[in-house]
A and B are shown apart, each in its own frame.
Chain A
């Protein structure tokens, strides 16, 4: 019966103290949440840690959930905030870029299947700023521009601009690679 309940209903129930509803909800979204964390950070180890942080803090975050809001949007926002928190903790510049920067370590550990493409992905994502990368993580996760705007707390126009900027940089990156 639970499985037919919508995310939104589950979240509402969970927010009002229903532990079982919370469990079902998290179980439903865990894999997607992890994938999104990976896109935000660029390393498996970082993604695992970030997911753990989010899971541990999620019960307290439920109070920020508002009825009728889409659960995915809310979860995105929680995840993006948690990722920002982590980045701030990694204070120095070198470590702030660590995710996609230390990708190589994670890649070796993870046995990437598609080495060539992953390398391109790594260096391509590496050329982006955090804002662009966050935006791209959302858009690549099939979020709409409106949703991404809501999650990141900016206007849709900014999202559109960021997507086009990211595309431009990816293109520049591709051209640069071709030149080399």
Chain B
């Protein structure tokens, strides 16, 4: 710690430039001229028989008399302003860090400062001792007596004041973890023509990125999952016609914004929007984390507000139950018809945070309740709301996953809603949602709750296709290399595509999913891999197609998958929706620090996204552009 500080001191000393001599002279001269004009004469020092206080008074009076009204206004306004800043509570607030959230985020990787919230005082005392020792080391101008006084002053002052003004920043240390894998590399079509992955309708990563940027820091690269950024937005893709199936895939090819020598293959899947009126009844089990860490305003209180929003959108025949889990799990609300708002609201309001988190106990109970509620034709779903801190029960994430995967077969879906920052276990949330036939969303404010739980409620709660897998076979005659953008955590083995036992992502009603490949045509200047000297050089003749797209899905409740196939034609078709998706794909890669973008920067992403914002009825795309601008500023470009 002190090393860093010393480094900083020496770096600072080295970096501090000498003042410019010319400006030094000019500034000194200017100061003297101002001084003299204030004194009312260009003469040398006047005799100063008056004592200092009256002289000062005279000086000030003279100064005020001599000041022009404009200068006087400026000077007095400045004085009042600085007085306001230093002397009033509001002024002090103005000067304080406007963004307390900033502090915990900045400490993302500071594992050693992990401290339980209840011993806040201890590190402070250590710091005081450290500072005193440090003062002695550095031979700072602090004579022994005052040093002793200072020390007592610290202990007297630091405690109450820290609690009063800086408590927000002194919260427990950050233990966040993120789920991600290394970015997909460029693959040589001749070596590996087939690419297989599961769809992903999660949006948590976008909200996390937004939360980071709004707090004034760039997100850690691992927090950025490009496909979740792209899929955060609703797109106006063509949906299926009646009888066609639950969704329609659309494939288009367009020039790559960041590379003139490659193309983007844009695969869009649009789920059908079933008539809302004849949707099946819902059985919802809210599984709510009420551990001590949920007490912060952006956790349990936001969660309660969010569920109130959602409640208004449920129907009389829907059933709601609430299970809370802290040290022990408990059923707060037995299954209740959604029309009984008073009972449900009372139960929601009664939730209070305390204790540690027994995630598994809660999950077991929630699944139990959901199974008991299930009737024919109902959709049962457990909605887990947590800050991700599963610190009691199954400690092994793999065991937790197995447990969830086991329960998945009972037909109950699982949605994971992440709240708050600080110990958000993104990795566990992802694992749970992916294994539990569900989706993960991160709710950082009420408008995100509105999006997830109200605007897109039907998609969030009504699955129309299970285990949706995508497999693309590229044609080596036309495509030399390809790269899947995002979906790193969703890749499947080639043989998994036809194996119905392998789990994959679910598609909700009205959901759209976008996947983008960057492909390098044969003969392009952008080919990264040299041909093999000893490899086979057989070129496949004939087809001009870029590749062949295959999709597998299961209708809800079925175990046999169905297959959809379509060739990818090489003809270019640029749509505005695809262009916006490409802009977001580029943004995500910029945040991840991708090597594949060349000179393409935030500027270009902003221009592209702005040009293809479309109707943007909910303002999501406008917000994305704002985030891009913020990221641009924060990255110093």
How big is the A interface, by class?
Answer: 35 or more
**In the complex, are the beta carbons of A52 and B75 less than 8 A apart?**
no
B525 at the interface (CB under 8 A from A): no
B571 at the interface (CB under 8 A from A): no
| Cβ proximity bits B513-544 to A, threshold 8 Å, 1 near / 0 not | 00000000000000000000000000000000
Q: Tell me the bound Cα distance from A62 to B142 in angstroms.
A: 27
By beta carbon, the residue of chain A nearest B97 is A129
Of B12, B55, B78, B135, the contact of A15 (CB 8 Å cutoff): B55
- B124: chain A residues at CB < 8 Å are 161, 164
| Cβ proximity bits B34-73 to A, threshold 8 Å, 1 near / 0 not | 1110110001111010101001100110010000000000
Interchain residue pairs with CB less than 8 A apart (23): A16-B48, A16-B55, A16-B59, A17-B59, A18-B48, A21-B45, A23-B28, A31-B24, A48-B20, A52-B23, A57-B75, A63-B56, A63-B60, A85-B82, A93-B216, A94-B633, A103-B636, A114-B14, A144-B140, A160-B127, A167-B1, A171-B112, A176-B108
**In the complex, are the beta carbons of B153 and A156 less than 8 A apart?**
yes
**In the complex, are the beta carbons of A145 and B131 less than 8 A apart?**
yes
**In the complex, are the beta carbons of A31 and B18 less than 8 A apart?**
yes
Of A55, A57, A124, A175, the contact of B109 (CB 8 Å cutoff): A175
Stretch at the interface among B154-162, B185-193, B308-316, B484-492: B154-162
- A161: chain B residues at CB < 8 Å are 124, 127, 158, 162, 166
Of A21, A55, A121, A171, the contact of B15 (CB 8 Å cutoff): A121
- B106: chain A residues at CB < 8 Å are 127, 169, 172-173
- A27: chain B residues at CB < 8 Å are 28
- B103: chain A residues at CB < 8 Å are 165, 169
Distance (whole angstroms) from the CB of A58 to the closest CB of chain B: 5
Q: List B residues 1-44 near A (Cβ within 8 Å).
A: 1-2, 4-5, 7-12, 14-20, 23-24, 26-28, 30-32, 34-36, 38-39, 43-44
B238 at the interface (CB under 8 A from A): no
Of B12, B14, B81, B110, the contact of A172 (CB 8 Å cutoff): B110
**In the complex, are the beta carbons of B141 and A142 less than 8 A apart?**
yes
Distance (whole angstroms) from the CB of A139 to the closest CB of chain B: 9
B194 at the interface (CB under 8 A from A): no
**In the complex, are the beta carbons of B48 and A60 less than 8 A apart?**
no
**In the complex, are the beta carbons of B162 and A55 less than 8 A apart?**
no
Q: Tell me the bound Cα distance from A102 to B45 in angstroms.
A: 43
By beta carbon, the residue of chain A nearest B153 is A156
Q: Which residues of B are in contact with A by a Cβ distance under 8 Å?
A: 1-2, 4-5, 7-12, 14-20, 23-24, 26-28, 30-32, 34-36, 38-39, 43-46, 48, 50, 52, 55-56, 59-60, 63, 75, 78, 81-82, 85-86, 95-97, 99, 102-103, 106-113, 123-124, 127-128, 130-131, 135, 140-142, 146, 150, 153-154, 156-158, 161-162, 165-166, 169, 216-217, 633, 636
**In the complex, are the beta carbons of B11 and A59 less than 8 A apart?**
no
Distance (whole angstroms) from the CB of B423 to the closest CB of chain A: 16
Distance (whole angstroms) from the CB of A34 to the closest CB of chain B: 4
Residue of B7, B8, B161, B216 contacting most chain A CB atoms (<10 Å): B8
Q: Tell me the bound Cα distance from A41 to B137 in angstroms.
A: 28
**In the complex, are the beta carbons of B127 and A164 less than 8 A apart?**
yes
- B107: chain A residues at CB < 8 Å are 168-169, 172
Q: List A residues 128-180 near B (Cβ within 8 Å).
A: 129-132, 136, 140, 142, 144-146, 153, 155-158, 160-161, 163-165, 167-176, 179
Apart from A113-B14, A146-B150, A158-B157: 16 A-B pairs, beta carbons within 8 A: A18-B48, A19-B43, A48-B20, A51-B19, A55-B31, A56-B34, A59-B34, A93-B633, A117-B7, A117-B10, A121-B15, A130-B95, A156-B153, A164-B124, A167-B4, A172-B110
